[in-house]
Structure 1
Amino acid sequence: MKITQLFNDFFHSEKIGGVLLICCTALSLGIANSSLGDAYHHFWMTSLAGQPLEYWINDGLMTIFFLLIGLELEREIYQGELSNIKDALLPIFAAIGGMLVPAGIYLFFNLGTPSQSGAGIPMATDIAFALGILSLLGNRVPTSLKVFLTALAVIDDLGAILVIALFYTKNLVWMNLFLSLGIFVLLYVMGKVFKIRNLIPYLIGGVAMWYFMLNSGVHATITGVLLAFAIPYGKGDESSTSYLLQHFLHKPVAFLILPIFALANTAIHMSGSLIQMIQEPYSIGIAFGLIIGKPVGIFLLSLVAVKIGICKLPDELNWKAIFGVGFLGGIGFTMSIFITLLAFENEVIINQAKLIILLSSLIAGFIGYVFLQSILKQKYTEE
């Protein structure tokens, strides 16, 4: 199976970044629950330009993460797994199943309660963590499975972005929204019509677009995805603006931005009864959604799509591999925590939801790793 160098770069940066995220999360939890806990928490609440440092990380730095996601999605559409509609349909259906079933499970336990706004939390997949776990299996993993998981996670993140835009937007300021979208249209025309390849106008326009989006009521990170599609893709070769920017962003995002996000958002002081915590409706919805809903949704909708002839299973894969990858899809972490911050306002609920996300992601990742290890031999053979 043909695989581009850019995909290889993306895969390797994400898998190493996943290991780094695990280390940062463990470190952050350890410090938060030590004698340095109060000072550590106050550090992330340090005021910068009238807002806490955590705010600028979640609304500013994470926009760059979303920009990388947008560039990767664009690459997938033009040259990758999503460029051929027949090949694209399998991860698309898998992602849809992996979003709808977990959200449905969450709403089953929370519909009509104050916590029903958290339905988007178990819908997300953390690319870095998922690819990091898959990489631990080494060369026994077929390329088609890596590509399937990457495409699934990217589409999943796109779905999460749409959920954020549609359901977690409050008090719209239409003028600012129109200004932001107007700048996007201008940048898009610059790239697609006038073929302007210099990156500087796009970065300047992107900052302006981010500012107006930030003050519009729509979450500012949406700007990253919009900007990605405005930047000219060209032929997608190593000289294209999109390629150069994506290649440049891989390491800063994997080794700086996501670790900082992890450190800032897992500074959780663990108190109270764990038994009582896991009995809360939102905890049950998150845990069942990620651990059960993700693999079931991914597997079932993929199976239905193949059986009715909409798409086909790649030659190297079998249904056990798809089911195993479904558990890796249950590693929510970055995106799930991100949506948690938008869904809830109560700090106690936010912290408890974060802990449940971490525990659920750990369980889903462990099950996925053990299951895939048992079915993927050193030399992969289709059953």
Structure 2
Amino acid sequence: MKRYLPQKVVHFFNSEPASGIILMVTAVLGIWLANSAMADNYFSTLSSYVAGLSILHWINDGLMAIFFLYVGLEVKRELLTGELSSNQKRLLPCLAAMAGVMVPALIYLAFNYDDPQQIRGWAVPAATDIAFALGVLALLGSRVPTSLKVFLTALAIIDDLIAIVVIALFYTAQIQSLYLALAAGTLIALILLNRNNVMRSLPYAILGVFMWWFVLKSGIHATLAGVALALTLPMSGTCQTPDNAPLLKWEHGLSPWVAFLIVPIFGFANAGVSFAGLSWSQLGHPVVLGIAAGLFLGKQLGIFGLVWLTVKFGLVNKPERASWPQIYGVAMLCGIGFTMSLFIGALAFTDPAVQDLAKIGVFTGSVLAAVLGYLILLLSAKENQ
């Protein structure tokens, strides 16, 4: 049995659901530690300082900058050569993503409109966790048509792009002009490297690190530096080696690190919420209800409603070979907010108690969306057989 173990491990890490499963395991581990005898060690470790920043800060502003770099690379590739490379391909996932952002936000505001501090969390239920959603979809294998997987991927990428814009516009602290100017100068230098067809990765990496530091000090969230760097990387290689483009090399190289290290570490560090002293009444808190209802109800209503209307009015075609129940199941899966929702929640709220309430709302809405979305797709696949 031992001789086959390495092959099984390799097979697992090469499987589509692997990243989502590992993220789920690390998140559960974080929750367990936060409610165990080791809770003090867990929280004190995350709050301890290294080189001027807490470990949690390094994770959320440092490692997640690499995550956003990867997202930016993915977005640029899809816009230039992938599933978002033409207006016809962009229309349905773009409209669905916008509806999937607005409806959850409105539902959250309906619960929290009368509290100026809680209103800041309107974007928490607006995000979709691409790793989790695609991981659940992958568990169904060939029972789900390829067109739906493409639709979900494109929708989630646009969703991430909207989340990046939201973070830049609504969750930016006071601006430090000098550092912002330095960051802008570094960005111009990166653009010049691209314009001069510089294909070596090292200059981009060095300038990217400087830009990250300048953006961090400027007051804008440091993760946006990752997106800016991604957009400057050349997509085309040389005539002799067309596949040697820095963007493609970086995306391929970062993929396993992001999926199996960076995102799980983020989940482990940010999912930890202590349930000590939690009462049932707190589950009815407007923040919890707004986020949970936004993810579970808002996503499915916004996305499925938009797809149904645009197809009925003849504006777009329904994903090929996909039934309406299957489209509804995918819309439900988009309610898995987890990584991005936790990330925005940490930016939206400064009070640790409210941050914990936001996490509970994210867990509740995401779990409901994952379980029911999976069951709907499973049952609809059996009906189509």
**Fold shared, TM-score > 0.5 on shorter chain:** yes
Q: Deviations over 1:116-173 (max 9, x none)?
A: 0000100000111111111111221221111111111111011111110000112111
| Matched letter for residue 112 of structure 1 | D
Maintained 8 Å contact 1:89/1:310: no
Tell me the distance in 2 between the aligned counterparts of 1:167 and 1:369.
33
**Residues 23-42 of structure 1: matches in 2 within 5 Å?**
23-42=25-44
| Matched letter for residue 125 of structure 1 | T
Q: Which residue of 2 aligns with 1:64?
A: 66
TM-score under structure 1 length normalisation? 0.92
Q: Which residue of 2 aligns with 1:5?
A: none
| Matched letter for residue 269 of structure 2 | A
Residue 90 of structure 1, CA deviation: 0.6
| Matched letter for residue 357 of structure 2 | Q
CA spacing shift, 1:77–1:201, aligned 2, 3 Å: same
Q: Which residue of 2 aligns with 1:363?
A: 368
Tell me the distance in 1 between the aligned counterparts of 2:179 and 2:268.
32
Residue 13 of structure 1, CA deviation: 6.9
| Matched letter for residue 264 of structure 1 | A
Q: Which residue of 1 aligns with 2:97?
A: 95
**Residues 82-161 of structure 1: matches in 2 within 5 Å?**
82-113=84-115, 114-161=117-164
Tell me the distance in 2 between the aligned counterparts of 1:197 and 1:308.
46
| Matched letter for residue 56 of structure 1 | W
Residue 273 of structure 1, CA deviation: 3.6
Q: Which residue of 1 aligns with 2:185?
A: 182
2:313 corresponds to which of 308, 313, 317: 308
Tell me the distance in 1 between the aligned counterparts of 2:196 and 2:29.
48
Q: Which residue of 2 aligns with 1:6?
A: none
Q: Which residue of 2 aligns with 1:242?
A: 247
Q: Deviations over 1:288-319 (max 9, x none)?
A: 10000001101112223333333222322232
Q: Deviations over 1:8-54 (max 9, x none)?
A: xxx96763111001111111111221111111111111211122100
Tell me the distance in 1 between the aligned counterparts of 2:381 and 2:125.
27
Q: Which residue of 2 aligns with 1:335?
A: 340
2:287 corresponds to which of 282, 290, 300: 282
Q: Which residue of 2 aligns with 1:253?
A: 258
Tell me the distance in 1 between the aligned counterparts of 2:174 and 2:312.
44
Q: Which residue of 2 aligns with 1:196?
A: 198
- Structure 1 gap ranges (5+): 1-10
Residue 108 of structure 1, CA deviation: 1.0
Q: Which residue of 2 aligns with 1:264?
A: 269
| Matched letter for residue 17 of structure 2 | K
Tell me the distance in 2 between the aligned counterparts of 1:305 and 1:174.
44
Instruction: Judge which range, 125-134 or 319-328, deviates more.
Output: 319-328
Maintained 8 Å contact 1:13/1:251: no
Tell me the distance in 1 between the aligned counterparts of 2:307 and 2:138.
23
Maintained 8 Å contact 1:234/1:240: yes
Q: Which residue of 1 aligns with 2:168?
A: 165
Percent sequence identity is: 45
Tell me the distance in 1 between the aligned counterparts of 2:16 and 2:182.
34
Instruction: Judge which range, 169-178 or 228-237, deviates more.
Output: 228-237
Maintained 8 Å contact 2:151/2:319: no
Tell me the distance in 2 between the aligned counterparts of 1:84 and 1:317.
21
Maintained 8 Å contact 1:105/1:293: yes
Q: Which residue of 1 aligns with 2:4?
A: none
CA spacing shift, 1:41–1:159, aligned 2, 3 Å: same
Q: Which residue of 2 aligns with 1:8?
A: none
CA spacing shift, 1:15–1:178, aligned 2, 3 Å: farther
Tell me the distance in 2 between the aligned counterparts of 1:36 and 1:96.
42
CA spacing shift, 1:243–1:13, aligned 2, 3 Å: farther
| Matched letter for residue 35 of structure 1 | A
CA spacing shift, 1:71–1:15, aligned 2, 3 Å: farther
Alignment partner of 1:215: what SS?
Answer: helix
Tell me the distance in 1 between the aligned counterparts of 2:15 and 2:125.
24
- The Cα RMSD (Å) is 1.8
Residue 274 of structure 1, CA deviation: 4.2
Maintained 8 Å contact 1:266/1:354: yes
Tell me the distance in 2 between the aligned counterparts of 1:307 and 1:136.
30
CA spacing shift, 1:207–1:13, aligned 2, 3 Å: farther
Q: Which residue of 1 aligns with 2:81?
A: 79
1:323 corresponds to which of 328, 338, 343: 328
- Structure 2 gap ranges (5+): 1-12
Maintained 8 Å contact 2:112/2:286: yes
Maintained 8 Å contact 1:296/1:323: no
1:15 corresponds to which of 11, 14, 17: 17
| Alignment: residue pair count | 369
Tell me the distance in 2 between the aligned counterparts of 1:336 and 1:212.
25
Q: Deviations over 1:304-355 (max 9, x none)?
A: 3333333222322232222111111100011000001110011011012112
Q: Deviations over 1:187-240 (max 9, x none)?
A: 12321x211111111111111111111111110101111111100001696322
| Matched letter for residue 349 of structure 1 | V
CA spacing shift, 1:189–1:321, aligned 2, 3 Å: farther
